[in-house]
Amino acid sequence: MPTILAVTGPIFLLIAIGFVSVRTEWVPRVAIPGMGVYVVHCALPALLFASLARRPFAETLNGTYLLAFALGSVAAMLISFSIARVLRGKTLVESAFHGLGASMANSGFIGFAVVIELFGSVAVTGVALSMLVDMVVLVPITLALAESAAAEGRGPATAVRTALARTISNPLVLAIALGLLASLLQWKPPEMMMKVLDVLAGSAAPVSLFVIGATLVGRSIRGRVVDLVQMNMTKLLLHPVMVALMVWVLPSFDPVLQTTAILLACMPMAGIFPLIAQRYGQEGDCATALVTATALAFVSLNGILLLLRGLGRIPA
């Protein structure tokens, strides 16, 4: 518990600073959307590119881990999407972000700190691969669904072309593709370029958390309880169950990476979740779900840690 508190405490403080800053009008609310765009278009792409470009390509790709985490995440996404769309009658855009909320884990911030504390540098590969699944599989699927909804009425072929073009041109997807290419070609960007990228990358986490807190100003959970329950339950319980199932049925791989995959799936939504949703008017519900899921993760994550410790999967 102290380890988790030490990791999540600063997260809540940064969210609270964003909330108070806008609530007291110290920072104007009209500035917040621009800050969100900065994270998604500049800071996070710099972080992804720099991280992937520095890592040897052979270390980045562990096929079985990728398959287990991707299949488990897509399964959680499809189940949550179907609940929202078929059972609850949500719009295509709303259902798309219900699916992303159930499957996009905070691997790079909370998850990284937890698994490194438990397993050391061995777990870094799992963190990188999980983020790769998020950015190459989950986010493009969500963007394609959202863009398809935006293109309704213009014919299915036009909708598909528009969705594909905007997905491919998304800065996050481009950053991952270029980072993997640089890693594959063993191309080392000039030192000055990497310093600039590192400065941008360093701002991704604090600015995104500040924006999340600011987005909560004026938001109420009234009328959103069912949405929050669905998103929190599917993220904190369904996602790790699906990933654990895939780890069990697929060919065996490094036990440390197996446990890392399950633990990363236990994390709440990624900090950029509401920022991705901002363009489609879904940032309020997504930010509220992220904060409540992060709070509930105190309980769910501790329970899973105790279970894995009892099974001998993590050190005592």
Q: Distance between CA atoms of 81 and 69, rounded to whole angstroms?
A: 18
* Tens digits of residue pLDDT in 123-162: 777 887 888 888 778 988 888 888 777 665 555 566 556 6
pLDDT score at 196: 94
- Secondary structure class of 105 (helix, strand, coil): strand
Q: Which long-range contacts (CB under 8 A, 24 or more apart) does 14-17 make?
A: 14/206, 14/209, 14/210, 14/213, 15/209, 15/210, 15/212, 15/213, 15/216, 15/291, 16/213, 17/210, 17/213
Q: Distance between CA atoms of 265 and 255, rounded to whole angstroms?
A: 16
- Give the alpha-carbon dihedral of 307, 302, 267, 128, to 10 degrees: -70
pLDDT score at 251: 93
Q: How many percent of the chain have pLDDT more than 70?
A: 88
Buried-exposed string 137-152: b where 16+ CB fall within 10 A, e elsewhere: bbbbbbbbbbbbbbbe
pLDDT score at 221: 67
* Of residues 225, 304, 228, the one with CA closest to residue 266: 304
Domains of the chain: which residue ranges? 2-310
* Tens digits of residue pLDDT in 66-110: 999 999 999 999 999 999 999 998 988 999 999 999 999 988 767
pLDDT score at 120: 78
* Tens digits of residue pLDDT in 157-211: 665 566 667 667 778 778 878 988 998 898 888 999 999 999 998 888 788 888 8
pLDDT score at 161: 67
Question: Which residue would you say has higher pLDDT here, 259 or 152?
Answer: 259
Average pLDDT, the chain: 84
DSSP 196-212: HHHHHHHTHHHHHHHHH
275, 211 contact by CB (below 8 A)? yes
* Of residues 55, 47, 33, 52, the one with CA closest to residue 203: 47
Mean pLDDT lowest among 42-46, 168-172, 286-290: 168-172
Q: Distance between CA atoms of 47 and 152, rounded to whole angstroms?
A: 34
* Tens digits of residue pLDDT in 1-35: 555 566 667 877 888 899 899 999 999 989 988 98
Band of pLDDT at residue 262, cut at 50, 70 and 90: very high
Q: Distance between CA atoms of 58 and 87, rounded to whole angstroms?
A: 43
pLDDT score at 6: 66
How far is residue 302 CA from its own chain's centroid? Answer: 20
What counts of helices (H) and strands (E) characterise the chain? Answer: 18, 0
Average pLDDT of span 204-224: 77
149, 92 contact by CB (below 8 A)? yes
Band of pLDDT at residue 295, cut at 50, 70 and 90: confident
How far is residue 137 CA from its own chain's centroid? Answer: 12
Res 49 pLDDT > 70? yes
Query: What phi, psi does 269 have (nearest 5°)?
Result: -60, 150
pLDDT score at 129: 85
- pTM exceeds cut of 0.95: no
Res 275 pLDDT > 60? yes
pLDDT score at 116: 78
pLDDT score at 183: 87
Report residue 76 as tokens. Answer: 């959680």
Res 44 pLDDT > 90? no
Q: Is the backbone of residue 281 left (phi > 0), alpha (psi -120 to 50) or beta?
A: left
Q: Distance between CA atoms of 271 and 294, rounded to whole angstroms?
A: 10
How many other CB atoms are found less than 10 A from the CB of residue 160?
Answer: 14
Residue range 2-310, CATH number: 1.20.1530.20
Q: Which amino acid appears at position 173 of this protein?
A: V
Work out the angle at residue 209's Cα, subtended by the Cα atoms of residues 203 and 210, and round it to the nearest 5 degrees. Answer: 85
End-to-end CA distance of the chain: 13
